[in-house]
Amino acid sequence: MADVLPWLRRLPSSRRDLTFVVGLPSSINVRTITMLKRFFKCTACRNRAASPRLASIAGQVRRIATTERNDDSVSIGEQLHRAFAPLLSKDPQTGGAASDALIDTSDLPTVARWTVAPRKRPVTGAMDTSGSTAEALHAALRSHNIRQAWQVYKNMYRAGKYDTLHADDHSTILGWLTAHTLPSLAAIHAARVLANMRRSGYRLDLRDYHATMLCHLRNNDLRRVAETFKAIRADGERPDARAFNLLIAAYGQGKDLRGAFRAWEQMKREVPGAQADMDSWAVMIEACGISNRMDEAERLCDQLRAANAYSDRKVYEAMIRAYGVNGDLEKALKVFGELKDGRARENVDLETYDGIILACEAVDDVETAQELWDELREFCREHDRPSQKRAIAPLVTTFNRMLSLYARHGDVGQSEALFKERSMLYPEDLASYQHLLRAYAYREEWQGCVKVYESIVKRGFLPDIEIVQVAMHAQSKIR
């Protein structure tokens, strides 16, 4: 060990954990094995990314220590090099350890690649008027008619005219898919657009990867989010802050806080200025909340306060959501009040109200949520401008949260009124239909349940098992 320690001391602390093996001699005296075991144990605690491999190597060292005590020299250097090969291989872009080896996708959940074709489209006539030219596609995109734009896009594929499209046309279609009302269908379409771009010889840029990762994230296909992130580097690009933030959000959504911290640390090493990116801090705080680790979320906030950086609205909103998903409405309201008092550089906005109503939804406090909802409506009226083409309105997720609260308390009147108002502003989605069905079921209005369920099926949504059971029960009641 005497010839190993001087080399270790010369290494920066951030590199010792992964690269000390390069200078490790192949022959190690048995008397140093105990010291090595301690080193591996401490290193596994410090370096979360390498801890699974370090644990296995520590096991090898332990076996050597018990079976080879009579041997004066044990050759384990080759085993160590093999075990660390993925971590020690050089990355041509970063010049350091291959970063993708630290991105583990095995524990992230995935979903099946299938969906149900809708029996009814909200807008009809697109098949006859869409066309199959680049000009027709551009006209549909300029008018924000994404459904017709997608129909033109498909017609061009059937007509073999994809060679007339620019790469930006594919990218625009891909970006619009992130707002699709059927996340499972959007993920499938996104994969097709990427295949079309590659078939046409276009090189993908970062916005294409961002849109694809977001489609998979909305579909709760967290493993494909991480696989798409890996594809960025495989295709010769360098991940930026947004790609890392989407990856961190995927780990957070999967309650893999260790994976989220690994990705964040990797981001700090590779992306210039990542330490000052408040979006990343907010995503990490929210990931801590989803993982029920409010101690970690508060620790991150304390770090920001110590650096005089706890003044970004996104960080406040992340703390509100973190407290909300953990059912601590009192602390969420306290942070919300601080934001309204002007503690942050920006005042409250629609996202802030969505976060605090999420906290009310988590504890089923419909009275507080109703007060905040009325306050939000007044906020929208105050900030509305006659020159705007579309009035400011609450977010679609906020509508769904209020629908959820009304449904739990069986307020059919409020649920119907809010569902109608929401449908005038946003396309219907599965969550809004299911909340309305639950409201009818609470009051045992079986006709309403069956009617809503038929609408769910016609639109091609895949309802939850609980909703299917309620619908079957409602059908048995009206026969």
DSSP 369-385: HHHHHHHHHHHHHHH--
pLDDT score of 94 more than 80 = no
CB–CB of 53/83 below 8 Å?
A: yes
State both tokens at 422.
Answer: 């929401």
DSSP 479: -
pLDDT of residue 155: 87
Dump strand ranges (E) for 331-442: none
- The tens digit of pLDDT for each residue in 232-251 reads 988 888 999 999 999 999 99
Task: Take residue 8 and report the two structure tokens written for it.
Answer: 């270790």
Q: What's the confidence (pLDDT) of residue 346? A: 73
CA 33 – CA 29 distance, rounded (Å)? 7
Residue 392 confidence (pLDDT): 85
* Spatial separation of the C-alpha atoms in residues 273 and 355, rounded to whole Å: 27
Per-residue pLDDT reduced to its tens digit, 198-209:
888 888 999 999
Proportion of the chain in helix, strand, coil states, percent, rounded to 5:
70, 0, 30
Mean pLDDT lowest for which of 119-123, 211-215, 472-476? 119-123
| Selection from 101-105, 188-192, 273-277, 404-408 with the highest mean pLDDT | 404-408
**pLDDT value at residue 15:** 35
Do the bridges between strand 27-29 and strand 73-75 make them parallel or antiparallel, or are there none, so unpaired? antiparallel
Angle of CA points 328, 333, 338, to nearest 5°? 130
Token representation of residue 277: 């990116």
pLDDT of residue 297: 93
Give the pLDDT of residue 275. Answer: 86
63: alpha, beta or left, given left = phi > 0 and alpha = psi -120 to 50?
alpha
pLDDT band at 461 (very low <50, low <70, confident <90, very high): confident
Distance CA 226, CA 256 (A): 12
357 has a pLDDT exceeding 90 = yes
Instruction: Decide if pLDDT at 377 tops 90.
Output: yes
Amino acid making up residue 206? L
The DSSP output letter for 28 is E
The residue among 212, 186, 214, 184 whose CA lies nearest residue 198 is: 212
Select the more confidently predicted residue: 353 or 36.
353
- Kindly state the helix (H) or strand (E) to which residue 74 belongs, with its residue range: strand 73-75
